[in-house]
Amino acid sequence: MRFNSKTMTLNKLNSAPYLTYNSLKEINFINHAFSTRLGGVSEGIFSSMNLAFNRGDNPDSVTENYRRLCESAGFDFNSLTASAQDHHTYVRKVGKENVGIGITKPRDMESVDALTTNESGVTLVTYYADCTPLFFVDTNRKAIALAHAGWRGTVGRIGEEVVKKMSDEFGTNPSDLVCAIGPAISKCCYEVDKACADEFYNLTDLDNTGFIFPKENNKFMIDLLEANRQILIKSGVRPQNITVSDLCTRCNSELLWSHRATNGQRGTMCAMMCINK
């Protein structure tokens, strides 16, 4: 396995490895991480760091995986608060009263593809295996958010919905946001049919020549990361405050879970972020 990235660092390869953004590490009031498929105790198709309870893995193994990742990356296991993703665009504000939901407590609602908070002691958790993670940090109001942007969430402009939610809840000025996009399946590997591509063509206020690439046989390559970058810029985020991962999940499937690389026989990664006390 080779690791080559100009935007991210691979940490603690000999324990429970995790990725961090070089740009976000410079922000001293947060901790963040993106898991890999390594360093856990799950077996079979989930081997070894699977963080999804809903794919048929042994729940005790998933819980132990969370404990190992938290210890490695410096998170409090008892602070985790998870999303309930179904490829829509609902953004949920969470606080200490929501800690444990989706991890040690049952889900209390469905269709939550983004989480935001301005409280310390709350670690946001969202899930991935090719879809695009979006990280948001308001450096002025000290608020954070994580969002899951599959192709449906991307064309639904979930990034824009997060910016609106943070503005409404915390008074966030989009120009104060520092954002990161990915890792995700990239334009080199994400082929779709015309029906899917047409959804991206409907983003008429964006430069779709930057994220839709027609092929033969009515197929298209899509750059989810660039589409999300343009959506964030349209939402008021400054281009210089956005970092886009240079890691494709399918190209790096020895390190990262990829739904397409495994034909769906896989575990799941997560993004984590919290405000330090």
Asked whether residue 127 is assigned to any structural domain, the reply reads yes
Domain of residue 45, CATH code = 3.60.140.10
Q: Which residues of 181-215 are buried (b: 16+ CB within 10 A; e: fewer)?
A: bbbbbbbebbbbeeebbeebeebeebebeebbbee
Answer yes or no: are the C-beta atoms of 137 and 24 closer than 8 Å.
yes
Asked whether residue 213 is assigned to any structural domain, the reply reads no
Distance from C-alpha of 157 to C-alpha of 230, rounded to nearest angstrom:
10
Asked whether residue 125 is assigned to any structural domain, the reply reads yes
Asked whether residue 216 is assigned to any structural domain, the reply reads no
For residue 45, the 8-state DSSP code is: G
* Predicted confidence pLDDT, tens digits, the chain (277 residues): 789 999 999 999 889 999 999 999 999 999 999 999 999 999 999 999 999 999 999 999 999 999 999 999 999 999 999 999 999 999 999 999 999 999 999 999 999 999 999 999 999 999 999 999 999 999 999 999 999 999 999 999 999 999 999 999 999 999 999 999 999 999 999 999 999 999 999 999 999 999 999 999 999 999 999 999 999 999 999 999 999 999 999 999 999 999 999 999 999 999 999 999 7
Distance from C-alpha of 191 to C-alpha of 57, rounded to nearest angstrom:
29
Assign residue 100 a region: left if phi > 0, alpha if psi is -120 to 50, beta otherwise? left
Asked whether residue 159 is assigned to any structural domain, the reply reads yes
Q: Number of helices (H) and strands (E), helices first, in the chain? A: 6, 15
HEC assignment per residue over 158-215: HHHHHHHHHHHHHCCCHHHEEEEECCECCCCCCEEEHHHHHHHHCCCCCCHHHCEEEC
Answer yes or no: are the C-beta atoms of 183 and 8 closer than 8 Å.
yes
pLDDT given for residue 13 in this prediction: 83
**pTM confidence score:** 0.98
Structural domain range at position 123: 8-184+242-275
For residue 65, the 8-state DSSP code is: H
Q: Which residues of 74-94 are buried (b: 16+ CB within 10 A; e: fewer)?
A: ebebebbbbbbbebbbbbbbb
Asked whether residue 97 is assigned to any structural domain, the reply reads yes
Q: Mention every residue, 6+ apart, whose C-beta is less than 8 A from residue 193.
A: 218, 219, 220
Token pair 């990829």 in the structure block, residue:
258
Bridge partners of 214, per DSSP, are: 220
Asked whether residue 232 is assigned to any structural domain, the reply reads no
Distance from C-alpha of 269 to C-alpha of 73, rounded to nearest angstrom:
14
Asked whether residue 219 is assigned to any structural domain, the reply reads no
Domain total in the chain: 1
